[in-house]
Amino acid sequence: MNTLLMLFIFVPILSVILLAFNLLLAPSRPDESKASAYECGFNPLLGQTRSSFHLHFYVVALLFLVFDVEVLLLYPLAITLYKVSVFGFAVALTFFIVLTIGFILEIGSGAIKITPSFLNS
């Protein structure tokens, strides 16, 4: 039997078995707070101090993910660079140059400019 075919058969069967074990063996003790949606307009608890999140943190997180994926894509190339010849190196270099230009544009637009919070107040 083909390994890939076995994987497509084995993984769904294993996942169904594990989900069934979870439904059978896991304790079920629902209460009002567990059954309700997370933070959907409840009154705040006494003494609860929460501050709003700035959108800037989400932008930085998304930019981190983009450049993290870049490293993830360049790592296999770095490992097998002697096998991909000049064409593979040119493709990787083009990919890296495009991402570097994007990074420079992000810095220029101020998307990743971080200012200390004490300067804003």
Write out pLDDT tens, residues 34-76. 666 555 555 555 555 565 666 777 777 887 887 788 778 778 8
* HSE (side-chain half, CA atoms, 13 Å) at 87: 2
Residue 81 has pLDDT above 60, yes or no: yes
Contact 92, 77 (CB under 8 A): yes
Q: What is the pLDDT confidence band of residue 99, given thresholds at 50, 70 and 90? A: confident
Structure tokens at 112: 């990743």
Percentage of the residues of the chain whose pLDDT score is greater than 90: 12
Token pair 């101020």 is at which residue? Answer: 110
CA distance 102 to 107: 9
Q: How big is the chain, counted in residues?
A: 121
Map residue 106 onto helix, strand or coil: helix
Q: pTM for the complete prediction?
A: 0.44
